[in-house]
Amino acid sequence: MIPIAPPVQNRVQNDIAAIVFRIDATQSGFWMQHSDVFPKESASIFWARERQFMQLSESTHKAKAFEKGWDGYDAPAPNDVSVIRTLAVLSKVRDSKLSPYSVLPSADGGVGISFRGNANKRAVLELLNDGTSSYMLYGKGHPIESSEFNSNTDLSRILQRLEEYL
């Protein structure tokens, strides 16, 4: 009898798994419950980024569990609209050079995505319950630029602005 080695996942299989993850992660809880599908200890930048975005997607889903007044000051809880829009924006951010570090409820009612850059630079994208979107750039702890934008038409331009700033 000739021993046969178990199949080893190759690069093509890894890429296919990542595509399946990207398509299904925002539509199914399966990936949130079966994160063991992804290599845990991999030196791959690709898999590290996939794990990071899986965790950010999970944080976005958890934002729905917050209740009105979650901050102690009567802040509205994120609604389904803001959560769905945040997941869509995260999908676009994944394809950019940006690397968000947190997704949290916004005190204005919705969800915020936070980014860090060099020299104490930060940026926040907010996707609010009423459908509005805004960004704010911070330098040394103080806001230096902010604006509302349409997340359906202006997102690419805003992500480019964040990349340039950070």
Q: What is the pLDDT of residues 30-58, one digit of tens each?
A: 555 555 555 556 668 888 888 899 999 99
Query: Strand locations in the chain, DSSP E?
Result: 100-106, 110-116, 121-128, 133-139, 142-149
d(CA 71, CA 63): 13
Q: What range does the domain containing 41 cover? A: 11-165
pLDDT higher for 26 or 61? 61
What is residue 13's predicted lDDT score, i.e. its pLDDT?
44
> Which among 80, 143, 138, 68 is positioned nearest to 111, based on CA atoms?
80
Residues 13-42: what's their mean pLDDT? 51
d(CA 12, CA 132): 39
What is residue 33's predicted lDDT score, i.e. its pLDDT?
57
Domain membership of residue 24 (yes or no) is: yes
Domain membership of residue 160 (yes or no) is: yes
Domain membership of residue 1 (yes or no) is: no
d(CA 104, CA 114): 8
3-class DSSP assignment, residue 94: helix
pLDDT higher for 46 or 22? 46
Domain membership of residue 90 (yes or no) is: yes
**Does the pLDDT of residue 113 top 50, yes or no?**
yes
**Does the pLDDT of residue 26 top 80, yes or no?**
no
Domain membership of residue 20 (yes or no) is: yes
Residues 56-81: what's their mean pLDDT? 93
Domain membership of residue 6 (yes or no) is: no
What is residue 7's predicted lDDT score, i.e. its pLDDT?
46
> Which among 111, 104, 86 is positioned nearest to 26, based on CA atoms?
86
Residues 129-134: what's their mean pLDDT? 96
Domain membership of residue 5 (yes or no) is: no
How many domains does the chain contain in total?
1
What is residue 105's predicted lDDT score, i.e. its pLDDT?
96
β-pairing verdict for 110-116 and 142-149: unpaired
Positive/negative CA dihedral, 31, 37, 40, 43:
negative
